[in-house]
Amino acid sequence: MKRLKHSQKIDSLFIYFLVFCYLEIVFKINAHSIFSWNLVNNLLYIIALSLACKFLTSLFSSKINKILMFIFIGIISLFFAIQILVHNIFNFYFDFSLLRTIDQVLTFSGETIKLIIHNFIYLLIVFLPMVIVAFINKKISTNSIKFTKNLLLIPLTLAVYGLFLLSLNINKDDYYSAYNLFYNTHNVELSLKRLGVAHTMFIDLVRYFIGFDTNIDPTASNINNGLNNDNSDKNYKYNNLDIQFDDLIAKSSGTIKMMHEYFKNDPGTLQNEYTGFFKNKNLILFMAESFNEIAVDKKLTPTLYKLVNSGFVFSNFYTPTISSTIGGEFQELTGLVASSSFLSPWRNGKNAFPFGIANMFKNGGYNTFAYHNHIYTFQDRNLYLSALGFNNYLGCGNGLEKRINCDSWPESDVELINSTFDDYINSDKPFFTYYVTVSGHGGYSWSGNEISQKNKELVDNLNYSENAKAYIASQIELDRALESLLKKLEKSGKLDDTVIALVGDHYPYLLSEDDINSITKNTKDFVVEINHSNFILWNNKMDKVKVEKVGSQIDVLPTIYNVFGLEYDSRLIIGKDILSTTPGLAIFGNNSWVSDYGTYYSSTSKFVPKENTKIPKDYVSNMNNIVNNKINMSRLIMTENYYKYIG
């Protein structure tokens, strides 16, 4: 009878396999990627992982083995829960480098907790296997196995893992195949969908501690890639400095030498009819919290509407959401593609930035100012702004609290403008002022968001969801701040001599897909088009200039340098002047991209060409190579402190 009962018990190996398969399926469904699952290598890895867990939970007594089983299942379930929650809340996936931005989560812990509660159903789904295992735990066999017999699990595990490695060769030539993601490319989002959550988390953890080098082709720096880059005026010079790359290459080795070769092979961007267009004018540049094109309305936000639809009008501009606010600000201020993997050298403020925006304008004879109406040390903004050349940055905690109400949440953009305008308006030189706003910050509700509540009556009659109305109410504050700024500039006689530039840090990811579509009235894909937005570059005296070329946050810096006639080297900034003849490109966090020729979705390896566009031969594969190089060169510029070798 005892033997019969023992034979009816479920082997823990079978439990591991079922639980891990269940979790992967749940993740795939949540990520809408059930059909992109690499079934063979995913299953082989799950089997290998199950065998490894079986080995470890057969070494001790049945009681200890069972405790270990719960711990293993619990930890792996937690990984799945984190990925699902982070994606559902922020629309990107967790990687261990994001631990460096944990202060952002802690600062807004109240909103984070609300969002977790809102997604509580997913926690129940993910941890359901643990509940079931606990319920049937007496029917699960976790008996100790003789050591010699248990050792057989080791070669069996290795053999299955070997088969897994062989299975990676299936479709290995695809640019973002499982093979390339395992050996050559680090992209957590794509790895999650191709290699599975458990394996990706393990790989990411290893790379977090020991680093990861990717192959870069130094000759693939030219985005033109054989495309026509004709210019009607052949006399235009390149926006490049006299850098002796040959000498630098001769004196260097390893990664730095490769980087010198890469930038030497990049021709840079040509000057154009707008080079020096705003020379010696004042500049007020905004990074606007959660600003997106959906906030632009002729009646509700008339100043934003005016600025977006006059001056330079960029109709194909994107603000890729990478690592939240700090990623957006990094892209705007450096012209480099952001990644959580190199936030540390950005945040510590120790890197050299000879082309840092405040340094550049000071060298051009400007006085510079910077303001933020929230905690001035948040995510070490005080350190990296100092590295860029801002030496009089003011925020809540180092003086601005004496001028505005820093105890409200979020703080008012109107108060920010009104309390700081007098600092620079009577400057003895042209001035450059940088504002980081906060009024547009989520969560978007009528409780806990004082700015949304302040402007609630203005949006009550809108046929939007309540959260969407609260978002528009928050952006009305930004609009009123800009209105106040323009009036003050006009009253002081400085409006005609001042340029307004504004870009968002990311789309309002604390709104759901339904919330956003209640405003847009059309369906946006949540990979690329959700990031479609506006870049304001405006002066009161200029005629309207339509720009259809694709651009993104990383193009803001070189575009500003060009129109202000500042001397810089366009080869050393990954973004490119949008007004130049260089073809447009926007790069997203999962390595998808948009060019003037079409849109590439990396998760499905699908390229959607624009209508009536002839695509050059090998265009997609060549562009994938260029995009990958731009991402990795951005990383190396930060991790290797590359600019110190140039400046």
**546-572 pLDDT per residue, tens:** 999 999 999 999 999 999 999 999 999
| Residue written as token pair 């070769």 | 261
- Topology classification of domain 245-645: Alkaline Phosphatase, subunit A (3.40.720)
Residue 117's contacts (CB-CB under 8 Å, 6 or more residues apart) are: none
Q: Is the peptide bond before 504 cis (omega within 30 degrees of 0)?
A: no
Closest of 87, 91, 86, 116 to residue 102, by C-alpha: 86
Q: Is the peptide bond before 616 cis (omega within 30 degrees of 0)?
A: no
- Name the CA dihedral angle for 455, 460, 463, 467, rounded to a multiple of 10 degrees: 50
pLDDT band at 251 (very low <50, low <70, confident <90, very high): very high
**Count of C-beta atoms within a 10 Å radius of residue 393:** 23
Mean pLDDT over 485-510 rounds to 97
pLDDT at 89: 80
Residue type, 272: N
pLDDT band at 151 (very low <50, low <70, confident <90, very high): confident
| 11 Ramachandran zone, left/alpha/beta (phi>0; psi -120 to 50) | beta
pLDDT at 4: 42
Show the tokens assigned to 296.
Answer: 């632009």
pLDDT band at 507 (very low <50, low <70, confident <90, very high): very high
pLDDT at 100: 67
Residue 33 has pLDDT above 60, yes or no: yes
**385-414 pLDDT per residue, tens:** 999 999 999 999 999 999 999 999 999 999
pLDDT at 99: 77
Residue type, 56: L
pLDDT at 522: 74
Mean pLDDT check: name the lowest of 98-112, 136-150, 619-633: 98-112
pLDDT above 70: percentage of residues in the chain: 93
In the chain, where does the domain assigned CATH 3.40.720.10 lie? Answer: 245-645
Report the relative pairing of strands 431-436 and 598-601 from DSSP bridges. unpaired
pLDDT at 269: 96
Interatomic CA distance for residues 165 and 169, integer angstroms: 8
Residue 109 has pLDDT above 60, yes or no: no
**569-592 pLDDT per residue, tens:** 999 999 999 999 999 999 999 999
pLDDT at 588: 96
Residue type, 497: D
Interatomic CA distance for residues 255 and 250, integer angstroms: 13
pTM: 0.92
